[in-house]
Chains A and B, each alone.
Chain A
């Protein structure tokens, strides 16, 4: 990882918007050729970071280096980055070809070169047939591809995308996720994408940075971020997470006695990484719905932990079933059971079950 060339290096970036601290000492690096996403709810500061990379806003503190070069006094029209806007911002008075040709034209490229570059770019986004159309005559998806081509034609070091898929409908969005990723691979360009759709970020990215309230909470591969969240917020924001919060009462070898306000009595569970826990510390145990198993039998398989619960609701959603099981007065867990042979357990509301999971599947967060 250390040997990989970096495209963008952001150090301790700070930006104040009036009374709010929009970006709070954000540091991250983006490697060359990777698809990097800034993920977070609205107001997390991710768009601010993007705009600062592009040069539309100046940071109050911190530095941005692109390809090793500091961007301190560099105006946006001289940075080796291009931004694809959420609203696409296509020039309404220019045709598709003219829109795409804008960048090269501004850079003073000779006419022949401009035309060939435009053609290549439009080919890449599969929009060659619509060269002479005006933006108003295109569909949302087509407009987006023009915006992409317009940015890519400049062969930027980094391509920035601001919520690229948010204006598209569900069907188109799924298709474009794959499309976008393949365009990135074909162009060989570094992509930095801002989004609040975690599914999108996980599907397309090589690495994800989860942001919240101006701070970066976790950076990692989609798998890292999903399976090993380092904070409750990250766990909750990405996918569904089941939580058990409590205090460590006693550590007995491998077994940790946890007292949770949500459960009656204390539960003894084996937690991975229990050696780092101390008595009296607060702890949160996180489990993903698909890692849980429901069983009516008391005895579980080896390596499994279990808690008693009762079925609250059964939700059928095509490829799987979701069981909402109640473990305590205020604790309901979400269990996902695929609708295949092994999944047909025939439980109904009110049934008593045992919720089971492999010890290693639990994520332990201590405060």
Chain B
């Protein structure tokens, strides 16, 4: 048994190495002074500096942030409404609608992307940042809904009864009792939606118009034009940012 344990431990470690190795390598080599990526030639921050000077990159970052912010806000509005509104329906209906709302998370992203493209084209809506934002809300709304609902379920239903007893109307109770109590979940959901939006590639790929380049799209085109350590640097930043945001989001949800 002990022997098996030893092997188990080694295999698990190997798995972890597999999972973290590539990212670690990427980040490490973003500090590599040499342009020929794979040989180490000393520490350097030049690639990070190059990023900073890259105008197109900065524009793409601004776009990403804009899209993420707007789509998150929109998703919060719609998602919280869904989460809270569902509570008023009978159980079976709740379940049905919830499952339906999860659809965008289940279907392959390529399909979501092309279906949106088709939709916009058929309606003669030109592709732009707006269409990207629309696309992003489609997966952000379910995410917000799930996170907020999970918290909502844990609220004491008596609190709503008490509020009613004390004279609160439906909207009063929502505003003064439910939403304040949901605040940590709402913030957590916002962070998660924001990160997902920043990270998204496929749906953005199909719905972005000219001039609507977001960061992932820019990275993609950089990769297609050839490897460069700048991409490493960019990737490193991305990794740290994503992990930080999601970590924060989870922390808030724990409370």
Contact = CB atoms under 8 A, between A and B. Distances in A.
State if A and B touch, Cβ cutoff 8 Å: yes
A78 to B, nearest CB: 8
Which of A77, A82, A105, A150 lies at the interface centre, i.e. has the most chain B CB atoms within 10 A of its CB? Answer: A77
Contacts of A81: 165
A89 B166 contact: no
A82 B161 CA distance: 11
Interface string A60-83: 000000000000000111100111
Interface residues of B, number: 17
Interface string B148-163: 0000000010110111
B24 interface: no
Given A91-B177, A92-B181, A93-B181, A83 B165 contact: yes
A103 B161 contact: no
- Which of A78, A102, A107 has the most chain B CB atoms inside 10 A of its CB? A102
B172 interface: yes
B180 A93 contact: yes
A77 B167 contact: yes
Contact of B163 (A92, A102, A154): A102
Interface in A96-153: 102-103, 105-107, 150-151
Contacts of B163: 77, 91, 102, 106
The interface residues of chain A, by DSSP majority, are classed as mixed
Contacts of A107: 167
B245 to A, nearest CB: 25
A89 B162 contact: yes
B44 interface: no
B158 A89 contact: yes
Contacts of A360: none
A81 B167 CA distance: 10
Given A92-B181, A102-B176, A54 B158 contact: no
Contacts of A150: 166
Contacts of B167: 77-78, 103, 106-107, 154
Interface centre among B166, B169, B172 (most CB of A within 10 A): B166
A225 to B, nearest CB: 29
B164 interface: yes
Contacts of A55: 164-165
A85 interface: yes
B168 interface: yes
A102 B166 contact: yes
A226 B18 CA distance: 79
Interface centre among B158, B165, B176, B177 (most CB of A within 10 A): B165
B186 to A, nearest CB: 13
Interface in B18-42: none
A61 to B, nearest CB: 23
Contacts of B164: 55-56, 75-77
Contact of A154 (B166, B176, B177, B180): B166
B158 A106 contact: no
A54 B165 contact: yes
Given A93-B180, A106-B172, A87 B158 contact: yes
A82 B168 CA distance: 12
B161 A76 contact: yes
Contacts of A82: 165-166
Interface in B178-205: 180-181
Contacts of B181: 92-93
B156 A89 contact: yes
B83 to A, nearest CB: 18
A56 B161 contact: yes
B158 A77 contact: no
Interface string A28-61: 0000000000000000000000000011100000
Interface in B125-170: 156, 158-159, 161-169
A190 to B, nearest CB: 16
Nearest to B176: A102
Nearest to A160: B165
B168 A77 contact: yes
9 contacts: A55-B165, A76-B165, A77-B164, A85-B162, A91-B159, A102-B168, A106-B172, A151-B165, A151-B166
Given A77-B168, A82-B165, A106-B169, 10 more contacts: A75-B164, A77-B165, A77-B166, A81-B165, A83-B162, A85-B161, A89-B156, A106-B166, A106-B172, A154-B167
